[in-house]
Structure 1
């Protein structure tokens, strides 16, 4: 009997997966553990292996479908085997509840019904098979869509490109008019002959052809607004959008900014970079050092290392640090669990491993949640100040800005310059007052400016 392969649960918090692309098609012979499709959760993208070997008998979903975990995904069995008994055995009623095991085959030209096989122009006139942009462009230029004999879209559909071509060349109606001796001057754009002109009969011979009137300055530009592309917001991008709106709508966010002397960061980073590779510290970055200092500050300020949900404030003894990670699929926030229990070397190594997995799309979705405090670092992009949004239900998030020179007055009255790093703290004012946020930043500045000592902790 055929085997039904289901959508696996790719993490404890995952409820459904979006099919990005199928890697197999009906009729393919596959081995057990062969990759059948690429899927995307609300946090990461992954590949799904087959749990059975054989011939692919049916693909139950289309690319772009959001499939609940544990739902039938495809059917594998012997070549020519009917997949329906296997689907009936698991109670599959189709993705729409109608028992469809695969998309219905599209009719070929040879098997098309008489209505489908009708002339394209007649089909367009009868069914309006023209895209909205094509109809708008035709209407703006007084072009009869019936004059477009063949559309280049799917199934002969008239699309915007077809209308543009009709506007820049003699229309089929004009060609027919010339063949039958009808008037060469019509009522269409630029004097083109339309089907309306053909049914009205030949124009009086006494009326001499005239040059088309000059195009007024207010005329509609046929190329307006120019090329564009519409993309459905889905997957990770949709989740980010919804979470950001929810963050702003459900919390009282206020951002506080300050700076810290960055010379200690720069000196320690240089020293670690040139250290013995056997010590495992050469890869420690400025971002690692600031993140490590932020963990120490969050541990000393419980209201910042907390969740606020349904009117209940939960503070955490340990700091589980989330960090914003720029990936090809959008913003992800991996969590360094138990960051407050780690050494600097361990913290740096775990952060890099999580970042690499997030960028590659192979991170466990469970490691993209559970943070108690978050850091977002835009300093590498030269940003000197910004307003990070809370990752609710967290009560605070730290934005790390660029290092930049600032003028300072020395004790002897001379003027010099020092390197400063910008810090932007966003806090939920429902539980964190301004003075509390200021104290957090004071602690953070102290940890950063004495980073060599902080790293020993």
Structure 2
């Protein structure tokens, strides 16, 4: 029988945790005690071990996602079992709902190509995107509305943005070729790498901002002769 793995609550004040790394992928065999994924709160990092043995049937949150405590993160069971009951319905345009499903790798690769011809599937609605994918899109100035989501619950994830950037690079390369004739147009490589901030850094930033904006500020200035010092 399929079993859901939830995001643990590490303390009464912890509302959500960020997934930092997946150690297992869909289709991998899982034994009791295997580390499924690592995650962090605003104060510490943890590893979640499997409580049951079986096969990892579905991953419901990606690396970098901020997942509420006690929410389903993945599903372990036997191959072929239905996992739709463990994932919430995704909201689409017009307020309708569609069940989320874990696509096979081949289907995930084909989805961006098939959907690109029909335009954005997220236009006009609330776009669900992981923090890492959003950061890449902003740095590369990409329109996330044109991305084709392949993540859980209709979420745009990193691979979707990378596919979108490939389409943009191909367009620029073909335009440069038409203008420059035989001259090759090389796409410049990124000179930096985006690294997600640890959760504790976000908490520090919020606390510092709250200290500055919510508390009265008082500054004293004194002058003295320090010549002899």
Give me the TM-score of the superposition, normalised by structure 1.
0.31
Partner residue of 2:110 out of 85, 92, 108: 108
Partner residue of 2:181 out of 175, 182, 192: 175
Question: What are the ranges of 5 or more consecutive residues in structure 2 without an aligned counterpart?
Answer: 92-96, 118-136, 143-161, 221-227
What's 2:167 paired with? Answer: 157
After superposition, the Cα gap between the structure-2 partners of 1:36 and 1:247, relative to the gap in structure 1 and judged at 3 Å, is same
After superposition, the Cα gap between the structure-2 partners of 1:248 and 1:59, relative to the gap in structure 1 and judged at 3 Å, is same
Aligned counterparts, 1:55-454, within 5 A: 55-85=55-85, 87=86, 92-94=87-89, 98-102=98-102, 105-108=107-110, 112-113=113-114, 154=163, 156-159=166-169, 171-175=177-181, 227=191, 235-253=199-217
After superposition, the Cα gap between the structure-2 partners of 1:73 and 1:228, relative to the gap in structure 1 and judged at 3 Å, is closer
Question: What are the ranges of 5 or more consecutive residues in structure 1 without an aligned counterpart?
Answer: 117-129, 136-152, 177-191, 193-222, 257-406, 409-457
Q: Which has the larger radius of gyration?
A: 1
Please state how far the C-alpha of 1:101 moved relative to its aligned partner: 4.0
Deviation per residue, 1:24-55 (Å, 9 max, x gap): 11111111232111112122221111222111
SS state at 1:238 partner = helix
Question: What is the total number of aligned residue pairs between the two structures?
Answer: 172
After superposition, the Cα gap between the structure-2 partners of 1:131 and 1:77, relative to the gap in structure 1 and judged at 3 Å, is closer
Please state how far the C-alpha of 1:82 moved relative to its aligned partner: 2.1
What's 2:125 paired with? Answer: none
What's 1:429 paired with? Answer: none
After superposition, the Cα gap between the structure-2 partners of 1:26 and 1:132, relative to the gap in structure 1 and judged at 3 Å, is closer
Give me the TM-score of the superposition, normalised by structure 2.
0.58
What's 2:49 paired with? Answer: 49
Residues in 2 aligned to 1:106 and 1:173: alpha-carbon distance in whole angstroms: 35
Residues in 2 aligned to 1:73 and 1:16: alpha-carbon distance in whole angstroms: 12
- Superposition RMSD on alpha carbons, in Å? 4.2
Residues in 2 aligned to 1:114 and 1:236: alpha-carbon distance in whole angstroms: 38
